[in-house]
Structure 1
Amino acid sequence: MKIIKLCLCLILLFSLTSNAQISKGNWMMGGSANFSHNKYTSGEYSTEGTILAISPNIGYFFIDKLAIGTLGELSLTFEKKANSSVNSNYFSYGIGPFIRYYFLEKEKEINIFSEVSYAIQKINQTNSKLENFNVKTGAVYFLNSSVGLEVALNYLNQNTSNGEKNSSSYFQGKNNSFFLGVGFQIHLEKK
């Protein structure tokens, strides 16, 4: 019985159509948002933080189902150091390219996509720089031919540096994380 239900669900999923605008010559714009909470401990040093981030984007479909474009990175970080009353709150911003591919036929109401992006971010009021390499895979549900809502699993590889390499205050760190993000895209048809 479970196999029959699974087969029926798969047939329904792959038979839904919406005529989404993921065709050559069309534009997409929108973005995604995510929330993460982390804890970092190294020896006696410990921090706990919360990050709220949004990534607006705009892309162009150079071929059917393949968009290439630019994204922004905007994030707020709230950090608390253990055994300290000092809290760090900072804003970071950046920009970079992305490539997105939709795997199912372009007429499907539900589609699967993968996206790769790279962005360089600057942390406000510091000399810190973040380099983000992000890979995400998810599903998009097209409400109509122009608007899609999406949910995606993200993998982020982040390199942080602060100051000049030869200075005594130079810091370099790495962070690898997985998180869920939600987003929306507006697809503009070429006339």
Structure 2
Amino acid sequence: MKKILLGATLFAVFSFTSNAQTEKGGWLIGASTNLSFTSTSFDGSDDSVNEFDVTLSAGSFIADNLVIGLNMNYNSVSDSFDKQTTSLVGPFFRYYAEGTFFLGASYLLGTTKLGSGGTDFTFNGNYLGLEAGYPIWVAENIAIEPSLNYAIGGGDFDGSSAIGINIGFGLYFQ
């Protein structure tokens, strides 16, 4: 019986602490990434592919558990032959279910520049993104935010889509 009461008390305290950070009037500043590095060998020669991806976010809680803000994303992929960079910016919203699990959406506009064999190409387009994640509160206003993400492209990015797992870091201010 004592274990049940202790568990219920800890759950209630955790839920209150988490929810307190997602109240109306608060702010969210965050960053997320899906850093990756791949090294591949072709016929005995080594070639490496490097990818760097970061998204910076800032938003305001316009209602309890609902934040609206701006995302900025930068992605770079390069190997020994090509380099591709993508810069995107646009609005996002995120809804927190009782300050714990979150669902979100974003709309990003931007440009991809591809350098291949001395020739540069530029593509303009947009992405509609969806996310679902869980803030792991490591301090009263700091969370690690793993999320599952899906994006579908439009404009010059039409026909492209991506699914992935990101790791984010969020600072919550009241």
Q: What range is the shorter-chain TM-score in? A: 0.7 to 0.9
In 2, Cα distance between equivalents of 1:118 and 1:36: 24
Q: Cα offset for 1:12? A: 8.7
Q: Does 1:181 align with 2:166?
A: yes
In 2, Cα distance between equivalents of 1:155 and 1:78: 23
- TM-score, length of structure 1 as denominator length: 0.68
Q: Tell me what 1:57 maps to.
A: 57
Overall identity of the aligned pairs, in %: 22
Change (3 A) 1:159 1:143: same
Q: Cα offset for 1:50? A: 6.0
Q: Tell me what 2:106 maps to.
A: 117
Q: Tell me what 1:93 maps to.
A: 87
Counterparts of residues 105-184 of structure 1 (less than 5 Å): 106=99, 111-124=100-113, 126-159=121-154, 161=156, 173-184=158-169
Stretches of 4+ aligned residues off by more than 6 angstroms = 10-13
What do the CA deviations read for 1:159-187 (whole angstroms, capped 9, x no partner)? 362xxxxxxxxxx6411221100001111
Alignment RMSD, CA only?
Answer: 2.8
SS at match of 2:140: coil
SS at match of 1:174: coil
Q: In the comparison of the two structures, how many residue pairs are matched?
A: 151
SS at match of 1:127: strand
Instruction: Flag structure 2 segments of 5+ consecutive residues without an equivalent.
Output: 38-48, 114-119
